[in-house]
Amino acid sequence: MKKLLIAVLILTFNAFAQEDKALAVLRSDASLKEKAEACRELARVGTGKSVPTLAQMLADESLSQMARHALEQIPDPSANAALRDSLGKVKGRLLMGVIHSLGVRKDTEAVQPLSRFLADPDPDVADAAARALGSIGAPSAPVLEKALTQGATANKSAIMEGLFRCAESMSASEAARIYDKIRDLPDLPHQVRVAALRGLVRCRGAETVPLLIETLKTESYVSAANAIRMLAEIPGQEVTKVLVAELGRAKPDVQTLLLHALGNRGDWTVSAALVPLAKDGPANVRVAAIRSLVQLGAPASIPVLVDLAKDPAPDVSNAALAGLTGFPTKEADEAMLALLEEKNTKLRLSAIDAVAQRRVKAAIPALIKIAVEADTDVAGPSFQALGELAEENDVPSVVGALVQTRAIAAAETALAAICARQSDRTGCANSVLSGLAKAQSEPKLALLRVLGTIGGTKALDAIRAAAQESDAAVRETALRVLCDWPTADVLPDLEQIAKASDDTKFKILARRAQLRLIPTQNAPDTQKVSQLKEIMASVERQEEKRLALAALANIHTEDSLQVVNQYLAAEGLNEEAGDAAVSIAEQIVASHPATVAAAIKMVRTNNKKLADRAQQVLTRAEAAAREQGFKPIFNGRDLSGWDGKPGWWKVEDGALTAESTPDKPCKAPNYLIWRGGQPADFELLADFKLSTEGNSGIQIRSEERPDWDTFGYQADMTGNGELIGFIYHHSRGLVAGRGEKVVFAPDGTKTIERIGDAAELLKHFRQGDWNTYRIVCRGNDIALYLNGVLMCQVTDHSTQAAAKGIIALQMHPGPPMKVQFKNIRLRDLSR
């Protein structure tokens, strides 16, 4: 509880601070946008303290709306008083806004002040007052009722709207009195009369049934429709009986509305009363009765619908058939099975469609019989239904039907769909092979094509055998199936066709199939690339070469890229080859940057998107090439491999971190030393970030001294940038400044050459953010780069020059500071 109380106090304090800040903005000469934002903030955190300032803004054309928005949300009662007080100080649009805000706040003390505006000469103000009074609720009702009967007629609509709003907050009896009063007015607009009637229904329920029946009998179709809709919303069998009674007396257009309402009520005991209207009368009434019978779902209605499905009136029969298809109970399945036996084509087709939609598995034997015996117009849809319903145990029967039917194409499609759903492809293949042994002519060709969709060893053997038959049609179909085979086990057959076939068409189809399947086979990538390379050399048409390039694009190896390279300048193929080269390069750039860079530089394209991808991957390749040979010497997790003065170095957010504070000052330098060796010739990359007061450095070719101290060269750095890009030495002080090339002769004589402007070079430093040092030590030369830009160079031939030494990171004494290092990588240059 104590913690909860503290949390509440903190939040309250924050809210008070935010309120003060927002009020300061409103009292200043801040911009309109800033003041609007301050008002939004006060709507969230404002208290009574904000009310006087906001009240002064109510007369401001630019800020009145935002001030009102804030006042509407402030819970303090003074906000009501401020709004009421401004009623006499603003006019026009601003006055309407204040009136609206009083309604939003439901200020009961504003009823009398607002009532005076009901007769305002400005009709917009009068309307706003009426609506605001309505929003306040019941206390405003007497004022609005008086205005309704005694006031001007110009704003009657707004007054009635206000009364409707009042009624929503009143008791049922009081609200009903309001609705009655409005209904008694002469010449009411239709929408107002309907709203008042609906209000009465909500308040009095079944008591309003006589009134609704009276409305239903009016000459107005719209009024009748509204009355029926309201009757349908009143629960109870008594209302249902009333609706049924009116069916026999109503005009046809109203009968359709009554039927729809009865269907929606879901009381199937009234189904018998609907049957006569379904059997006889105007077509639109019969259709409405049928639809309601279906909605009610009484099983006794099914025979009626079956009879109506045979009705000569198309609208009626179609509605009955659609109703049987969507009938909510299983009893309708038997009716659809019976309709399958009908001789009438329309009925049979509808029944076929219905059993498929209703998933009636019991219809499968009848569908197979129809598929065999009927003409193509009926057999085709029957096979389509079988394709949706049949399972594995039905495959032999469907195969048998295919062998006998005249609708061979539909049978083939259905059989392929059935087999595609089954997990036991071998069982399906066996059933199809059994039928194949008996089939001749077109059915045999169809079964061969189905075997091609099933796949598997047995099916492939059968297709191979068919490809050797003397029948030209069988042989050609088998060859096409081989070229469309879904798996790579057909590759030897395709190679044979491509090399031995006398038909150019099949040579091309075989090569295309090879190009499709080679990437999918379970084989080493080197084998796939070799096969694709061989095919590319053997085909003449560019269409196949393009397919080969597309296949190579999905094999991400150095070998595949080298094959693609041969076509980067080929006329008519350079775009496809470029796309393939970039696709491969994007995947292997990290492991083969040199190969990728060489290939990408040869890409020529007019496709901007491809050119952008090529440039991106080239940039990555060049970066990867720069990183080759580098090894991380910091794991990003802990101090493994590093040794420093206890209590000073840690890993924070993946970076080696040292920090001094007023409570923990750093009085003497200490270093975090890498224990991985003493490199001589090397390249070091390290990201670093310092606080503004920070002072640090990276020791290279240095000696270790007691108490975690060092001696030697240092890549210097400070958070303010003063020593960024400098090389320092413990015995010599500043060795090379930013923008200098320094040479030490054997006797220690120092010569300096200017290689850049120190101020311009400093612009590459990102103060307060991460930067990267690159240090290259080779022989007597040391070069320091910042973010890829050379800062300074040293060539040291003196006797003090160190050829190797430790690497360490500095924690410098002085004011509180923080320094971090990460992504530290080392590359050996001695080889």
| pLDDT reported for residue 64 | 92
- My answer on whether 648 and 697 are in the same domain is yes
Cβ proximity of 67 and 58 under 8 Å: yes
CA distance 57 to 35: 11
> What does DSSP assign to residue 110?
G
- The pLDDT, as a whole number, for residue 5 is 39
- For residue 591, the model assigns a pLDDT of 85
736: helix, coil or strand?
strand
Burial 337-349 (b: 16+ CB within 10 A, else e): bebbebeeeebbb
Q: Structure pTM?
A: 0.63
CA angle 98/103/105 to nearest 5° reads 95
- Is 200 a domain residue? no
Do residues 726 and 614 share a domain? no
- If one counts the domains in the chain, the total is 3
Is the domain of 532 the same as that of 619? yes
Does residue 231 form part of some domain? Answer: no
**Which helix (DSSP H) or strand (DSSP E) does residue 827 occupy?**
strand 817-828
Whether residue 615 is found in the same domain as residue 653: no
Angle subtended by helix axes 92-104 and 123-136, to nearest 10: 10
Tell me the two tokens of residue 675: 């224990």
Last residue of a domain, which of 601, 627, 653? Answer: 627
**Which string of DSSP letters, residue by residue, matches 183-237?**
HTSTT--HHHHHHHHHHHHHHHGGGGHHHHHHHHTSS-HHHHHHHHHHHHTS-SH
Whether 570 and 697 share a structural domain: no
Ranges of residues in the chain whose predicted pLDDT is under 50: 1-13
**The two structure tokens encoding residue 614:** 């090529």
Burial of 270 (0-12, 13-18, 19+ CB in 10 A): buried
Tokens of 795: 């060539």
Is 622 found in the same domain as 635? no
pLDDT at residue 6, rounded to an integer = 37
Q: What is the pLDDT of residue 12?
A: 42
The answer to whether residue 507 is domain-embedded is no
Provide the 10 A C-beta neighbour count for residue 124: 14
pLDDT in tens, 512-531: 999 999 999 999 999 999 99
Domain containing residue 586: 523-627
Examine the domain organization and report whether 566 and 656 are in the same domain.
no
Q: Is residue 605 part of a domain?
A: yes
List the helix and strand counts (H, then E) for the chain.
39, 17
Domain co-membership, 768 together with 691: yes
In a domain, 592, yes or no: yes
Same domain assignment for residues 604 and 690: no
Task: Please report whether residue 638 resides in a domain.
Answer: yes
551 located within any domain = yes
pLDDT value at residue 15: 60
Q: Which of 568, 592, 627 is the last residue of a domain?
A: 627
| Domain boundary, last residue among 627, 655, 679 | 627
- Please state whether beta strands 727-729 and 733-736 pair in parallel, antiparallel, or not at all (unpaired): antiparallel
DSSP state of 266: T
Q: Cα separation of 195 and 20, whole Å?
A: 48
Residues 648 and 594 grouped into a single domain: no
617 and 684 housed in the same domain: no
Please, which residues have CB within 8 angstroms of residue 446's CB and are 6 or more apart in sequence?
402, 408, 409, 411, 412, 415
Distance (Å) of CA 747 to CA 312, 711, 714, 744, 795: 121, 21, 22, 8, 13
Axis-axis angle for helices 408-421, 425-436 (nearest 10): 150
Residues 674 and 716 placed together within one structural domain of the fold: yes
DSSP letters spanning 269-303: GGHHHHHHHHHSS-HHHHHHHHHHHHHHT-GGGHH
Task: Give the 3-state DSSP-derived string for 763-819, with helices as H, strands as E and coil as C.
Answer: CCCCCCCCEEEEEEEECCEEEEEECCEEEEEEEECCCCCCCCCEEEEEECCECCEEE
- The radius of gyration of the chain's CA atoms, rounded to the nearest angstrom, is 45
**Cα distances (angstroms) measured from residue 569 to each of 90, 238, 584:** 79, 87, 17
CATH number at residue 640: 2.60.120.560
Residue 562: CB atoms within 10 A of its CB come to 16
810 lies in some domain: yes
